[in-house]
Amino acid sequence: MFPLQNKNWPATAVLRGGLTIVFILWLATVMSRYDDNPIEKQQKINVKQAPSNIVIEQLILPPVPVPKAKPQASAVSELANQPPESAIKQVKQSPPVNKQQVEQVYKQLSDQGIDIQIAWPQQVHQQQGASDFMYQCAGMQFAMLNGNKITKVNQFALSDYSDWIRVAQGNLSKKEQHWITAYSLAGTPIRLFPRNIDLRLAQHLANALKGALLVNLRANYQVSNQRLYLTKIQLNNQAIKTSWELYIGECI
């Protein structure tokens, strides 16, 4: 019996080897169908569904300089609960000839020692209208501040923004609330204005200050006829009877 078993063993080994090779080939075919991770596929699909006109951009601010004077109790901010706006008195003011003076006033706007509070309209529909105009027409930028990092929600290809960071206080607009929820943003809501708007504000301030230092500013924003105005102005505790035009133009 032993010679018979030894004679048939090579055929059995060949058969087993052939079955093993077939099994390996079948297993490789099945595994190749599951190479892609389904979680990664779902993530790629979610990214494609994001709006094409929104870009999340990360910025890092330079270290905050040490203020020369003791900061005032009130921080630079934007308020929402203010009395209704009065009629706008359109009085044209020529910008100062001294550009260096304007630049100095512009730099004071972002000084932590300056007490500046500018309010948005009180009525809800006026707030919404002013917000839409600023975002869609004037180029205002919404962002979140975390320490020295800023996360911008870009709607337009604009980069020349003011150095003055406005902290958004009071109720945020529906659009701003949607951005925070949709993109899981965290931090302090801020609004960035185009630099040309704050340069125009610096021109008005330089005209009114006539060389004096900027100590405090109280005013209201108002949008009328595709224009952004500053109204109810209190400059260094002195009332300004006229309104200042900060921006005029059509939507971007």
Pairing of strands 55-60, 149-154: antiparallel
* 198 confidence band (pLDDT: 50, 70, 90): very high
pLDDT-derived band at 202 (thresholds 50, 70, 90) equals: very high
As a dihedral over the C-alpha atoms of residue 7, residue 10, residue 11, residue 16, rounded to 10 degrees, the angle is: 140
Q: pLDDT value at position 214?
A: 93
- The position carrying tokens 């059995």 is 12
- Tokens coding 39: 């979680």
pLDDT at 244 over 90: yes
Distances from the Cα of 88 to the Cαs of 220, 241, 243, 244, in angstroms? Answer: 11, 10, 6, 9
Do residues 193 and 166 lie in contact, with contact meaning Cβ atoms separated by under 8 Å? yes
pTM of the model: 0.65
Instruction: Give the model's confidence band at 12: pLDDT under 50 very low, under 70 low, under 90 confident, else very high.
Output: low
pLDDT at 147: 87
Residue 50 has pLDDT above 50, yes or no: no
In this prediction, residues 145-172 reach a mean pLDDT of 83
pLDDT of 157 strictly over 50:
yes
What is the distance in angstroms between the CA of the first residue and the CA of the last residue of the chain? Answer: 97
Per-residue pLDDT, averaged over 72-86, amounts to 42
Of 226 and 40, the structure prediction assigns the larger pLDDT to: 226
Q: How confident is the model at residue 54 (pLDDT cuts 50, 70, 90)?
A: low
Which range, 36-40, 78-82, 116-120, is most confident? 116-120
Cα–Cα distance between 226 and 142 in angstroms, integer? 20
Distance set, CA 82 to CA 6, 102, 124, 227 (Å): 103, 29, 12, 20
